């Protein structure tokens, strides 16, 4: 039996116990996790130092090193996050629907845990705790498979969490870490359909594509964001410039940042120079269509076809002039990733047509795409942003980590 | 470009139109389908005759031939089914949640169609219409891939439906049939993730396993049922005998029929002979554990390990004597397929523990497992019974053929 099969079996057993655990027990486990992390902060920092030192030696990029690094302050942030999750209502055992049938049997649809959740992610040790805590709160066991660069940090966190849940009277195997961080172990996890109920990849486009294509376990696809802001001819141009600046520049690396600006032809001449002025303050590279370059001049890089539909994750913006609303809707439905799309217009008819016609997780009128986020939507905490249509779409909070079952009570009904 | 890629593209375009179609237009399309099938019944029957004649020549089993055969009466049944779907409320455009955030933006979660649904099924031509009509009502385009034995019948139905939806002002490509019925075309459909949002296999265990293992398109797993009836020591034995008889014998071929009977040791001596007497009237073959055979005698076939957890789909019942509630719950969670499980007991504490502790789509106290069905649950119509935990669990009606999107309206909010 491989390491993973064994871990899968143990996690499934643990999930059966968690399935019937009450809110108090689960919250106690989370509180123990918070306390234990606080107590063993030095241990975590020391293990993290091993990871960061090895990473520096192997020549990791500055951005990746930053994501990998833990500090006392960041650990405090993780603990605050746990306390926020404790404060959220328990998503399990809710009666979602109820009906009494003509034959007298009563049918309830109850929220229940999913079971065992696998998370595949990159070298971000905070995800180890954030994801595990959300899974546990929703009554799920979790198998974590993080990036190899963060292995020592992840193992420290997982050992702490296993000790803590045990102290709360739950099985240690509610939380497990895949210790083999080879590519092969990720592939093996994707075949573990006997024990895993869901697999959630968190990370870059390559990781997510690989999981979607290879997994036999049901996958929730998260996080690829090719978001558009479309400035309609009836837009308030000041508002539009603020929105595209915010959507592009407030945090270009995240999935709800804008990658493409579409502008109606009739206002492009007045709007594009305004927008460029603002974007210049952050040295945004504009890659424009031909008409954009006619207006903004040759300093604008000519856009290639592949620039549209690309997630730059950087201070780069593709710009295209369109004939109007219909072209904008078609263009977005073809080039977007189904994440977040915005129209800017004072014309409510145009806004409603856009909101109806765009096929994406979040569609905005006169709001920056940057709001697509569990916290901003009021879900409390988020495990990711689903860009698929099955099960969950958009920011996924606790409820999206649950399933349901029908419970039927009767007195001898037969059919 | 292959036949399927082309069909995928056209279906996706059609889905974009359907996405914004109102309830009236969709119902008009369904009414046109009903009218057109009625008008062209002779054409359907003639095409069906080609299929059945070829099937007889190739030595098909009687049961399969029966499923393949259409009659005037069965076609009337299909038309009645369409009219029932027309009468159901439109599942699209419903505001599922609504909130206004502190910054003034309003967030709605709206029900929307899934997009393009693929259905892979066996030689049952009624499924062609039943499934397409449910998909259309929920605003989805559908690509049908039926068994080759029913090809002529399916093509006749699909041509009729395409003519009908066009007459209602919708694109013909809302409904498409995969005309290549080779194994390869099914495999190709499973790779069509650029155009398909969901794939639903309907049929036997082999078909479903193949789709789950090979599909890159998200799958909803349906229909495998290894259901148990557990008779607790505090059961009303008459009720228990009625329930196991109904669950096993009322229609043994369907997925919600019982396959295994578990009986508490303390009442096995009195209950098993009672149950056997009833089951004898349908010549049910009992495959019993050792203790069962001690009670019922050597006429009972000794159960092999593999008999537990098997979907017989026939007048065969595996029987096991257990020590009590805990063993029963563990045994069912290990051997069941997560479909439908029942306890019979007058002890409400035992019943509640069972209802809580069993991990299945439908869990019953004192009711036959045979009720797990969209119609019996009051959903109106059903596209299948999901045995997975993601997206939908249990009988899937119209609502399970929808997704949702967040619609956010504001006046210039930035983050």
- Residue A194 has φ and ψ, to the nearest 5°, of -70, -25
Query: Residue B223 above 80 pLDDT?
Result: no
Give B-chain residues touching A360 at CB under 8 angstroms.
405
First to last CA, chain B: 44
Q: Is the distance from CB of B341 to CB of B225 less than 8 angstroms?
A: no
Q: Are B359 and A16 inside 8 Å of each other by CB? A: yes
Q: Are A218 and B218 inside 8 Å of each other by CB? A: yes
Query: Residue B26 above 80 pLDDT?
Result: yes
Mean pLDDT of B87-107: 97
Q: What pLDDT is recorded for position A224?
A: 86
Q: Are B390 and A197 inside 8 Å of each other by CB? A: yes
Mean pLDDT of A134-151: 97
Tokens 């069993």 — which residue?
A: B358
Give A-chain residues touching B394 at CB under 8 angstroms.
109, 404-406
Beta bridge pairs of residue A199: A118, A219
Distance CA A216, CA A118 (A): 12
Query: Residue A206 above 90 pLDDT?
Result: no
Q: Is the distance from CB of B149 to CB of B123 less than 8 angstroms?
A: yes
Give A-chain residues touching B400 at CB under 8 angstroms.
none
First to last CA, chain A: 44
Q: Determine contact: B92 vs chain A, CB below 8 A.
A: no
User: Is A367 strand, coil or helix?
Assistant: strand
Give A-chain residues touching B371 at CB under 8 angstroms.
105, 408, 413, 415
Cα–Cα distance list, B371 to B47, B81, B196 (Å): 35, 19, 32
Partner residue facing A368 (CB), from B359, B391, B414: B414
Q: Mean of the per-residue pLDDT values for chain B? A: 96
Give B-chain residues touching A94 at CB under 8 angstroms.
none
Q: Are A405 and B360 inside 8 Å of each other by CB? A: yes
Q: Going edge to edge, which strands form the sheet with B285-288?
A: A95-100, A106-113, A402-413, B362-367, B340-344, B227-231, B258-264, B316-322, B285-288, B301-302
Which residue in chain B has the smallest CA separation from A360? B405
Q: Are A407 and B242 inside 8 Å of each other by CB? A: no
Task: Give the CA dihedral B185, B187, B193, B195, nearest 10 degrees.
Answer: 10
Strands (E) located in B237-290: 258-264, 285-288
Q: Determine contact: A241 vs chain B, CB below 8 A.
A: no
Distance CA B343, CA B353 (A): 10
Distance CA B8, CA A222 (A): 23
Q: Are B405 and A114 inside 8 Å of each other by CB? A: no
Q: Determine contact: A233 vs chain B, CB below 8 A.
A: no
- Mean pLDDT is lowest, of A206-220, B15-29, B128-142, B357-371, for A206-220
Pairing of strands B362-367, B340-344: parallel
Residue A131 pLDDT class (50, 70, 90 cuts): very high
Q: What pLDDT is recorded for position A255?
A: 93
Q: What pLDDT is recorded for position B14?
A: 97
Q: What pLDDT is recorded for position B267?
A: 98
B59 burial level (CB within 10 Å; 0-12, 13-18, 19+): exposed
Give A-chain residues touching B408 at CB under 8 angstroms.
362-365, 367, 371
Q: Determine contact: A377 vs chain B, CB below 8 A.
A: yes
Residue A152 pLDDT class (50, 70, 90 cuts): very high
- Mutant choice from B103, B367, B375 vs A, greatest count of A C-beta within 10 A: B367
Residue A379 pLDDT class (50, 70, 90 cuts): confident
Give me B245's structure tokens: 């008889």
DSSP state of B303: P
Query: Residue B163 above 90 pLDDT?
Result: yes
Angstroms from B187 CA to nearest CA on chain A: 14
Q: Are A359 and B16 inside 8 Å of each other by CB? A: yes
Q: Are B413 and A357 inside 8 Å of each other by CB? A: no
Partner residue facing A415 (CB), from B197, B220, B246: B246
A3: Cα within 13 Å, side-chain hemisphere: 14
Q: Are A366 and B218 inside 8 Å of each other by CB? A: no
With CA atoms as reference, report the closest residue to A278 among A296, A266, A302.
A296
Q: Are B367 and A408 inside 8 Å of each other by CB? A: yes
Query: Residue B152 above 90 pLDDT?
Result: yes
Give B-chain residues touching A20 at CB under 8 angstroms.
356-357
Q: What pLDDT is recorded for position A164?
A: 98
Which residue in chain A has the smallest CA separation from B333? A16
Q: Are A16 and B114 inside 8 Å of each other by CB? A: no
Which residue in chain A has the smallest CA separation from B221? A218
Angstroms from B367 CA to nearest CA on chain A: 5
Give A-chain residues touching B218 at CB under 8 angstroms.
218-219, 388, 390
Percentage of chain B modeled with pLDDT above 90 = 90
Which residue in chain A has the smallest CA separation from B365? A409
Beta bridge pairs of residue A321: A263
Angstroms from A370 CA to nearest CA on chain B: 6
Q: Is the distance from CB of B364 to CB of B342 less than 8 angstroms?
A: yes
Give me A389's structure tokens: 């249509």
Q: What pLDDT is recorded for position B158?
A: 98
Q: What pLDDT is recorded for position A287?
A: 98
Distance CA A389, CA B339 (A): 24
Distance CA A272, CA A261 (A): 10
Give me A336's structure tokens: 């977007």
Q: What pLDDT is recorded for position B224?
A: 86
Residue A373 pLDDT class (50, 70, 90 cuts): very high
Query: Residue A286 above 90 pLDDT?
Result: yes
Q: What pLDDT is recorded for position B380?
A: 82
Angstroms from A400 CA to nearest CA on chain B: 9
Distance CA A341, CA A369 (A): 6
- Mutant choice from A197, A219, A390 vs B, greatest count of B C-beta within 10 A: A390
Residue B289 pLDDT class (50, 70, 90 cuts): very high
R_g over Cα of chain B: 24
Q: Going edge to edge, which strands form the sheet with B95-100?
A: A301-302, A285-288, A316-322, A258-264, A227-231, A340-344, A362-367, B402-413, B106-113, B95-100
Distance CA B116, CA B218 (A): 12
Q: Are A411 and B239 inside 8 Å of each other by CB? A: yes
Q: Are B415 and A371 inside 8 Å of each other by CB? A: yes
Mean pLDDT of A275-299: 97
Give A-chain residues touching B361 at CB under 8 angstroms.
405-406
Angstroms from B173 CA to nearest CA on chain A: 18
Give A-chain residues touching B404 at CB under 8 angstroms.
393-394
Residue B68 pLDDT class (50, 70, 90 cuts): very high
H helices then E strands: how many in chain A?
14, 16
Partner residue facing B414 (CB), from A19, A99, A246: A246
Which residue in chain A has the smallest CA separation from B387? A405
Query: Residue B45 above 90 pLDDT?
Result: yes
Query: Residue B381 above 90 pLDDT?
Result: no
Give B-chain residues touching A371 at CB under 8 angstroms.
105, 408, 413, 415
Q: What pLDDT is recorded for position A335?
A: 97
Beta bridge pairs of residue A119: A144, A200
Residue A205 pLDDT class (50, 70, 90 cuts): confident
Q: What pLDDT is recorded for position B121?
A: 93
Q: What pLDDT is recorded for position B206?
A: 86
Angstroms from A388 CA to nearest CA on chain B: 8
Q: Determine contact: A108 vs chain B, CB below 8 A.
A: no
Partner residue facing A371 (CB), from B114, B197, B413: B413
Q: Determine contact: A132 vs chain B, CB below 8 A.
A: no
Give B-chain residues touching A406 at CB under 8 angstroms.
361-363, 372, 377, 393-394
Partner residue facing B361 (CB), from A198, A218, A406: A406
| Predicted complex ipTM | 0.94
Mean pLDDT of A18-31: 97
Q: What pLDDT is recorded for position A70?
A: 97
Q: What pLDDT is recorded for position B379?
A: 87
Residues sharing a CB contact under 8 Å with residue B19, sequence separation 6 or more, in sequence order: A356, A357, A359, B112, B113, B115, B139
Which residue in chain A has the smallest CA separation from B368? A414
With CA atoms as reference, report the closest residue to B327 among B227, B225, B230.
B230
Mean pLDDT of A56-74: 94
Q: Determine contact: A99 vs chain B, CB below 8 A.
A: yes
Query: Residue A223 above 80 pLDDT?
Result: no
More confident position, A29 or B210: A29
Percentage of chain A modeled with pLDDT above 90 = 90
Task: Give the CA dihedral A117, A120, A122, A123, nearest 10 degrees.
Answer: 60
Q: What pLDDT is recorded for position B301?
A: 96
R_g over Cα of chain A: 24
Give B-chain residues touching A105 at CB under 8 angstroms.
367, 371
Provide the 10 A C-beta neighbour count for residue A49.
14
């Amino acid at each position: 039996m491989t390491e993973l099969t064994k871990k899968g079996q143990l996690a499934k057993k643990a999930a059966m116990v968690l399935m019937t655990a009450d809110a108090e027990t689960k919250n106690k486990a989370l509180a123990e996790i918070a306390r234990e992390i606080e107590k063993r902060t030095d241990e975590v920092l020391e293990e993290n130092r091993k990871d960061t030192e090895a990473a520096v030696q192997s020549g990791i990029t500055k951005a990746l090193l930053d994501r990998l690094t833990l500090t006392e302050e960041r650990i405090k942030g993780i603990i605050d996050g746990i306390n926020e999750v404790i404060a959220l209502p328990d998503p399990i055992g809710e009666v979602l629907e109820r009906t009494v049938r003509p034959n007298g049997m009563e049918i309830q649809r109850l929220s229940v845990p999913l079971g065992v959740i696998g998370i595949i992610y990159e070298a971000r040790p905070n995800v180890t705790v954030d994801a595990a805590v959300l899974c546990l709160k929703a009554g799920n066991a979790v198998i974590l498979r993080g990036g190899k660069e963060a292995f020592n940090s992840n193992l420290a966190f997982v050992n702490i969490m296993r000790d803590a849940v045990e102290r709360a009277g739950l099985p240690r195997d509610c939380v497990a870490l895949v210790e083999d961080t080879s590519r092969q172990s990720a592939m093996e996890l994707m075949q573990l359909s006997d024990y895993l109920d869901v697999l959630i990849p968190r990370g870059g486009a390559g990781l997510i594509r690989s999981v979607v294509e290879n997994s036999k376990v049901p996958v929730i696809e998260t996080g690829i964001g090719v978001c558009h802001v479309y400035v309609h001819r009836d837009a308030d141009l000041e508002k539009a410039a603020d929105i595209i600046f915010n959507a592009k520049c407030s945090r270009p690396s995240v999935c709800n940042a804008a990658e493409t600006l579409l502008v109606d032809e009739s206002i492009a001449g007045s709007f594009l120079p305004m927008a460029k002025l603002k974007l210049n303050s952050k040295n945004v590279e504009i890659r424009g269509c031909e008409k954009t370059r006619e207006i903004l001049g040759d300093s604008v890089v000519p856009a290639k076809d592949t620039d549209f539909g690309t997630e730059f994750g950087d201070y780069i913006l593709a710009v295209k002039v369109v004939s109007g609303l219909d072209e904008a809707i078609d263009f977005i439905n073809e080039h977007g990733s189904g994440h977040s799309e915005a129209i800017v217009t004072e014309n409510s008819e145009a806004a409603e047509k856009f909101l109806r016609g765009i096929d994406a997780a979040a569609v905005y009128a006169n709001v920056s795409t940057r709001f697509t986020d569990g916290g901003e939507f009021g879900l409390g905490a988020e495990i990711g942003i689903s860009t698929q249509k099955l099960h969950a779409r958009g920011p996924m909070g606790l409820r999206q980590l649950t399933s349901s079952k029908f419970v039927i009570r009767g007195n001898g009904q037969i059919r």
